Each structure stands twice: as structure tokens, then as C-alpha cells.
Amino acid sequence: MSKVGILMGSKSDFEVVKPAVNVLKKFGVDTEVRVISAHRTPEEAHEYAMNAKKNGIEVLICAAGKAAHLGGVIAAFTTLPVIGLPVKTDMMGGLDSLLSIVQMPAGIPVATVGVNGGENAGLLALQILGIKYPQIAEKLVEYKEAMKTKINADDAALQELL
């Protein structure tokens, strides 16, 4: 079965990463969750990216804040799809992280979700995996149906209040 590698630049990013881990678990996808920093442990980042494919990883999620170079550095060393997850910061509310991740030079894309968008990072990984694994694609259809049912119920409840 599929495996998603989830990296974060610091243990302090874990709360943002958790929703990604949770949604992947909910879909029965294995995760490998690591603290690896582009700046503080660059050798580990290089080694991880170089061996990810060989180790059965199919999609990578890289969470980082501030000068958030992790996703870009990992993407430099692998052809696996890399999803960047910008972490909110005190100084700029995460705009610093977002721009550091999303503004990649041509040739090295990092598919970037919103600031603290852990669940969307997980869902995007699932959508990528869904191309190969029909059972994941089917579960995604069910997920969307459940979301639609909830929003319709919320709308109906609101009409009752007004």
C-alpha cells in the first residue's frame, strides 16, 4: 500500500502537521513522520529526499515556518510530488512561510496549500495517490459526499433560525 512521507522543520510544527496525519490515517494510508530541517539538519534532508522513492514513499508533505526552505530543498533532490505546508508565524502570520514555499523557481515545483492547511495537505496527497489507487479515489468521493450532506444540513438549520 501507499506511503506518504511527512517532514517538518521543527517539532514545534507538529500541531499543524497532525490534521494531515489524521486524514491520511482515516483513509488507511501509511505515513512516515519525521523532523528534518533544511537548515539545521541539511545532510538528513538530502539523504531522506535521495532515498524516499526507494523507501516506498509516493508523495511528500513538507511543513515549515519562517524562511521555510524544506519543501524546496526536498523537491530539488526527488521527482516525487512535494506538497508544501506553510506554518503560521508570529511576525507575518505565516505569509513569510507561504511565500518561501510557494515561490519556487521554474523547474522545481512545490504544490503549496494554505497557511496551517494540514488537512488540505493530507487531502491533496490522497488525491495524488487516488490516480494510482482506485480505493483511495472512491473514498475521496465518499468524503466529498459527506461534506456536501453536512453543508446542506447546516444550510437547512440556518433557514430554520431566520
Q: List contacts with ligand RP5 (CB under 6 A).
A: 9-10, 12-13, 37, 64-66, 87
Shortest distance, CB of residue 58 to ligand RP5, whole angstroms? 23
Shortest distance, CB of residue 12 to ligand RP5, whole angstroms? 3
Strand, helix or coil for residue 31: strand
Which one, 31 or 37, has the nearer CB to ligand RP5? 37
Which one, 75 or 136, has the nearer CB to ligand RP5? 75
Shortest distance, CB of residue 43 to ligand RP5, whole angstroms? 16
Which one, 47 or 154, has the nearer CB to ligand RP5? 47
Orientation of helix 118-130 relative to helix 134-161, angle to 10°: 140
Orientation of helix 118-130 relative to helix 14-26, angle to 10°: 40
Identity (one letter) of the amino acid at 94?
G
Euclidean distance between the first and final Cα of the chain, in Å? 49
